[in-house]
Amino acid sequence: MSSPMRIGIAGLGTVGIGVVKLIRKHARDLERRSGRKVEIVAVSARNRKKVRGIVLSGYEWVKDPLDLVNNPDIDVIVELIGGSEGVARDLVTAALMAGKHVVTANKALLAHHGHELALLADKQKVSLCFEAAVAGGIPAIKALREGFAANDIQAVRGILNGTCNYILTNMRESGRDFRDVLKEAQAKGYAEANPAFDVDGIDAAHKLALLTALAFGIKPDMDSLETTGIRHITASDIAHATELGYRIKLLGLCRREGTRLIQSVEPCLVPEQSALGGVEGVLNAVQVRGDFVGQGWLVGRGAGEGPTASAVVADLIDIARGHRVPVFGIPARQMKVGNFASTDILEGHFYMHVVVRDQPGVLAQIAAILRDHKVSVEAVLQRGRDPGKPVSIVMTTHKVKQADMRRAASKISGLSLVKGKPCLMRIEQD
């Protein structure tokens, strides 16, 4: 056997403790599979006195995580601090410059600074691995970078945030509104006290930026990524979608349209009986479409101590084996700036929910605006009568350009009988 691979862990939250547990429990298996012992040498976290449910006295405790870089007994830095700036960025940069391999679960850091860090890793001939940054225990990074490497990738899409998927599933099953279900998710630990990163789509956008970079050989680009969260989705939207045979999912998607790429994170309707429609609760899913492989699917737990720690240690095994590949699948110097276009150029079917005052002529006014914007209606749902009171009109459309649909919805929102902004979502087919 070769000499042990010695690691330093920065960040002892849920994932960091999971990594420690996994390495202890499967020490012999890890050694057999990688050909080397994997040993934890030192750890670092903000609060040494915090109760973590595990004994850490056997490891050197480092107050400043940057001191891990200066330890000659450490071969690999595991960065589990999080955040796109500050200590996490400083640590990863310093580790790579010092010629140490890095394993991270930090999707925000790589979404904003992935290309510059990849250039540094290439220069120093070390690994920068991030399987745990996207979809937890699902091997989405390895699949795109290696498993689908022979293909010309045409599209990547998926359910990339378990918190949002849990909320939308629970709204459908319970009939409750977003706020009530969010409070429950927070109480169960599925959502943070400040849930903005999850429910506003930012977490999913970070992950999608990395998948796009891997799939299309371009630099991660958050500025070209259109992001819409799920705060505006109501229980009635969930019920209407169900009646129409659909489920609402927050999707991250990137696809090639001619010579341009379109990437977005947004709630969409998917057929109830489709593969995406069946991904419920906290599960994540990633779909890849390639020219030779067709469609490939990966489904599993997208977060939590066990799945994320599993992904971190899988990267450690690769490093122990001496398996080093370019961070984003191709040399960083060959990565290009993406040629992105707005989702406005997409054509598709749409769902629109409009709340109106129940008075004669309102449907005719809406229909006239849709006609003027070349929108053809496929189906209409309208329940009951309550003259002068708010009622819902729900429509699905035939295929239409997204720009025309958005303009029509904007015009409809200006009608005096319309209450608030229409809820507009694209219908995604398998």
pLDDT tens column, 261-281: 999 999 999 999 999 999 999
Known catalytic residue at 207? yes
Helix (H, G, I), strand (E, B) or coil at 402: helix
Which 8-state DSSP code applies to residue 212?
A: H
> Are 265 and 250 spatial neighbours (Cβ–Cβ below 8 Å)?
yes
Above pLDDT 70, what percent of the chain? 99
Least confident of 179-188, 246-255, 277-286: 179-188
**pLDDT value at 120 more than 80:** yes
User: Which two structure tokens, joined as six digits, stand for 295?
Assistant: 């469609």
**pLDDT value at 193 more than 90:** no
Q: Return the residue matching tokens 């997204």.
A: 402
- DSSP bridge pairs for 253: 157, 264
How far is CA 132 from each of CA 85, 198, 303, 311, rounded to the nearest angstrom?
Answer: 19, 17, 9, 5
d(CA 170, CA 178): 9
**pLDDT value at 51 more than 90:** no
Provide the pLDDT for residue 359: 85
Per residue in 278-303, pLDDT (tens digit) is 999 999 999 999 999 999 999 999 88
d(CA 345, CA 339): 14
pLDDT band at 360 (very low <50, low <70, confident <90, very high): confident
Provide the pLDDT for residue 414: 94
pLDDT band at 1 (very low <50, low <70, confident <90, very high): low
**pLDDT value at 387 more than 80:** no
**pLDDT value at 383 more than 90:** no
Q: What is the 3-state secondary structure (H, E, C) of 148-192?
A: CCCCCEEEEEEECCHHHHHHHHHHHHHCCCHHHHHHHHHHCCCCC
Q: Return the residue matching tokens 């969409």.
A: 268
Least confident of 124-138, 233-247, 300-314, 375-389: 375-389
Provide the pLDDT for residue 385: 64
> Are 38 and 4 spatial neighbours (Cβ–Cβ below 8 Å)?
yes
Q: Mean pLDDT over all residues of the chain?
A: 94
Query: Which of these, 365, 307, 371, lies nearest to 140 by C-alpha position?
Result: 307
Provide the pLDDT for residue 382: 83
Torsion of Cα atoms, 161 then 166 then 171 then 174, to 10°: 180
For each of the domains in the chain, give its residue range(s) and CATH number, in order of start: 5-133 (3.40.50.720), 140-302+336-343 (3.30.360.10), 346-427 (3.30.70.260)
Burial of 385 (0-12, 13-18, 19+ CB in 10 A): exposed
> Are 111 and 206 spatial neighbours (Cβ–Cβ below 8 Å)?
yes
pLDDT band at 429 (very low <50, low <70, confident <90, very high): confident
- Count the neighbouring beta carbons within 10 Å of the beta carbon of residue 375: 21
Q: What are phi and psi of 165, to 5 degrees?
A: -65, -40
Provide the pLDDT for residue 137: 86
Per residue in 229-243, pLDDT (tens digit) is 999 999 999 999 999
d(CA 232, CA 229): 8
Q: Taking the CA atoms of 211, 217, 220 and 225 in sequence, report the sign of the dihedral they define.
A: negative
Rounded to two decimals, what is the model's pTM? Answer: 0.95
Q: Return the residue matching tokens 């090639």.
A: 256
Catalytic residue among 207, 411, 419, 421: 207
**pLDDT value at 94 more than 60:** yes
First and final C-alpha spacing in the chain: 48
Over range 126-132, report the average pLDDT: 98
**pLDDT value at 369 more than 90:** yes
